[in-house]
Amino acid sequence: MGTLSSTAFPALPPHCRSFRTLQLVYCPAPDTAPTSLPPSPSPSLASTGSPSPRGSNSRSSSSPTRPFTASLPPTSLTYYPPTYLPVPSVPLAAVCSTSPAPSSLPSVAGPSASQRSINGIVLLLLLLTHWLTISITLQVLDSIAHINEDPNVHGLIVQLPLDSNNPIDVEKVTNAVAPEKDLHGDVDERSIELRIEEHVCRSLVLLTRLCPGLYSHRTAITLQVLKADVLVVGIGKAEMVKGSWIKPGAIVIDCGINHVPGECQHQTPTIQLLWKLCSIKGLYIPTNDIAISRAGTPKHISRLAREVGLMSDEVELYGKYKAKVLLSTLERLRPQQDGKYIVVTGITPTPLGEGKSTTTIGLAQAIGAHLDLNVFACVRQPSQGPTFGIKGGAAGGGYSQVIPMEEFNLHLTGDIHAITAANNLVAAAIDARMFHETTQSDKALFNRLVPSNKDIRTFSEIQLRRLKKLRISKSDPNSLTDEEINLFVRLDIDPDTITWQRVMDTNDRFLRKITIGQSSTEKGFTRTAQFDITVASEIMAVLALTDSVQDMRQRLANMVVAFSRKGNPVTTDDLGVSGALTVLMKDAIKPNLMQTLEGTPVFVHAGPFANIAHGNSSILADKIALKLVGPEGFVVTEAGFGADIGMEKFFNIKCRYSGLRPHVVVLVATVRALKMHGGGPTVTAGVPLPKEYIEENVDLVEKGCSNLCKQIQNARMFGVTVVVAVNVFKTDTEAELDVVCRTAKETGAFDAVKCTHWAEGGKGAVALARAVQHAAEQENNFQFLYNLDVVEKIRIIAQKIYGAADVELSPEAQHKVELYTRQGFGGLPICMAKTHLSLSHEPDKKGAPTGFILPIRDIRASVGAGFLYPLVGTMSTMPGLPTRPCFYDIDLDPETEMVNGLF
């Protein structure tokens, strides 16, 4: 064998040029062959595996498609990525074999070298000689692992049998191949065994070995195909077998290798979509939510990840049923067109909720498991506070749930805990900085903030940014003047302006107002503070609105926590803590992958409050999902509370930052909520419903449709098609449901559909799925609601969305408008903090009230998240526990370790 030229193969290590233990053979496509070929192997040495003399540089005169050969020493079976290959852009498949003879690969290529490049698919042969070391299995497994992770290699075949002087564990080798790259069907998870008498063929590519009864393309096959129950096709000629030849109900096993071009993947017509989603069919026996969830058999999350087209190195497993998805997925799929973007919202709800989450999951199950279209649901992560309080979990309900619901509702992958830690680190930094500035001189502060190391002081990166903000153009700590040192070390925080609070993910009413600093070690520096619930933290809003690690880093640095006594904003970057926050959030930024009861994929990521924040799941989850489903797929995301709150913020805040444009609004309505808006008795959580809600009352429904009509108009105001989903309860009558559907269509909804997905899962939302599919084909003219100054933005939302006559700002709110405008925050979107129980600011005003004045008590800034939030009335950021919280019913079975009592 001739010595390889380092210029021909610059990426191949120089010590790997002597022994033919593992051979990489590259066969370029006939129309892409290079004009200059590297050395080819000597036939005499190919059979012996002996090293070639140094200095040999023989060149073959055969066809330009003759294989390129590289050799590795017998002690190293290291796989080297094919970065040195001349044509890296073509589809590339690897074949692992112990036979160098082309004729031993009848199912992969023909006997001639040119046939090793079929339809543009190039074969990369990993040739294992018979002289294999005793640890060959481990070495082969290592090589296969590298191929699995190499995005340049699109498939891998293990050519059986693997003959060797030492035994090879064939099952381990074949099952080591990543299922998404398994071209042979050898991996147990993807193999199909055809049992004919006592013969089993596991390789669907080797058609000649299947059985004598299979017909080749040289036979008059049309008549035989029309009769076939199972049709195996591997002719090598594109579209030779016509769909009209195949009888209804027949199984078609496509073994073709005809390449369909694509920027994101290389595939045959049958697997044009990367998705191979296997839906889960459940037994429909109505019972409580946790029993239904537990009766389901979820797929292992790694399997689901492969089914939706995720690479193994893009998924981090958290147990069997949940995983994090790396942001590198977005970069890999960037050329892919986005799917259809659907947002689920609702009419103004009762305190019991009207089933937006259930509808989101039911719709996703209908699209994926019943219409067989690619789909992702994207939902918020629930807070532990309501789960143990009065609302319960947020996994959906009935047969439209995210499972396992225990893992969904409790802890998940720890994102909320990470936010709690990050938020409280900022709170601790604020009070510590005020304490140290009060008790130390400028010089002492400077010496501690910029410590000397062997008589050398250096600023950290975050301190250099502070100097730049102060317009001090110096990098040597010893060069600062006394005045500059004073500016550098003194944040001079005004305690009365601190807006940053400590958080915890538990409902605790007694932490709404506390006094801190009462220990003697704090030297009397006490102040009044409070705890908020974690999902009200600005860091949660940052997580939901960011689109990259770099963007999150900047948003975290921009968060304003207080003002100095001179009126200047104090940020986390000024405190020196923004870098540490990014570290604490480095895993939380990755979306969480779970599944529905019917096996369709769900992203669970971020959970900002829908009143104090914008109430939507993360932009990153939506973006990755839209790429994964492809242009014909659907992403169904949910906006919290009613359309006047969650949907308005989805459009004006989330879509403004994401750049995404929705295709359809699904507006969830219930007869129960419409009766309430029509003048029905008060609905109270934990109290049985009055008879008006369980007996037919068409008049109440008709009156309450004023709220439905207003919310349809709100959605149409943004130029998006609306489909109304009527979430059916067992107490609803056909007359009541007909009124809702008719009124919705008359008001401008594209369609209105009755849904029974709580009781029937995806089957009960198929009509809704078809309506959404048709609505997504309609032309939209999406537009934002505003692009004005602060007060006008507030006024437009109040008048157009809520129905108010005008707004009234308190002196404090007016002062904040002037302050934020002066500081450059006036252009930020508006996130109204308002009750979700009414279109107005008064929770007891139902229907669609008009003509009222909306009071703005205060305005606060979430500069890092990127919005201002006016406070309409009194808003609590720490829920309290009811008399009988949900935790009374929650317990763990010590024998089975199963959680009981969640709902």
Please list the active-site residues: 356, 358, 380, 391, 610, 641, 729, 758
- Please tell me the distance from the alpha carbon of residue 506 to that of residue 503, in angstroms, as a whole number: 9
Residues 119, 29: Cα–Cα separation, whole Å = 8
- Report the candidate in 648, 653, 642, 615 with the shortest Cα–Cα distance to residue 717: 648
Rounded to the nearest 5 degrees, what angle is found at the Cα of 50, between the Cα atoms of 49 and 55? 125
Long-range contacts of 745-748 (CB under 8 A, 24+ apart): 747/708, 747/709, 747/712, 747/713, 748/712, 748/713, 748/716, 748/722
- Inter-CA distances, 592 with 308, 320, 323, 587, 844, Å: 14, 13, 6, 10, 38
Residues in Cβ contact with 265 at an 8 Å cutoff, skipping those fewer than 6 apart: 154, 274, 309
Amino acid at the residue 816 = K
> Which two structure tokens, joined as six digits, stand for 424?
């409280």
Q: Which residues pair with 400 in a beta bridge?
A: 397
Query: What are the helix and strand counts (H, E) for the chain?
Result: 28, 36
| Spatial separation of the C-alpha atoms in residues 186 and 182, rounded to whole Å | 7
Q: Residue 547 is which amino acid?
A: D
Structural tokens at position 82: 């094919």
| Structural tokens at position 649 | 């913020």
- Show Cβ contacts of residue 552 under 8 Å, excluding neighbours closer than 6 positions: 542, 543, 546, 582, 585, 589
Write the DSSP string, 765-776: GHHHHHHHHHHT
Sign of the dihedral defined by the CA atoms of residues 603, 833, 707, 684, in that order: positive
Instruction: Decide: 646 and 615 in contact? Cβ < 8 Å.
Output: yes
Structure tokens at 259: 């390449």
CB atoms within 10 A of CB 676: 28
Secondary structure element (H or E) that encloses residue 531, with its range: strand 531-533
User: Tokens 């008048």 identify what position?
Assistant: 799
CA–centroid distance for 603 within its chain: 5
Long-range contacts of 730-733 (CB under 8 A, 24+ apart): 730/759, 731/671, 731/672, 731/693, 731/694, 731/695, 732/671, 733/696
CA-nearest of 24, 114, 40, 154 to 77 is: 24
**Among the listed residues 629, 635, 557, the one whose alpha carbon sits nearest the alpha carbon of residue 864:** 557
Give, as one character, the DSSP assignment of residue 651: I
Name the DSSP class of 83. G
Distance CA 64, CA 43 (A): 17
Closest CA to 771 of 722, 712, 714, 709: 722
Looking at residue 650, the DSSP 8-state letter turns out to be: I
CA distance 432 to 450: 17
Work out the angle at residue 732's Cα, subtended by the Cα atoms of residues 726 and 733, and round it to the nearest 5 degrees. 105
Q: Does a cis peptide bond (omega within 30 degrees of 0) precede residue 404?
A: yes
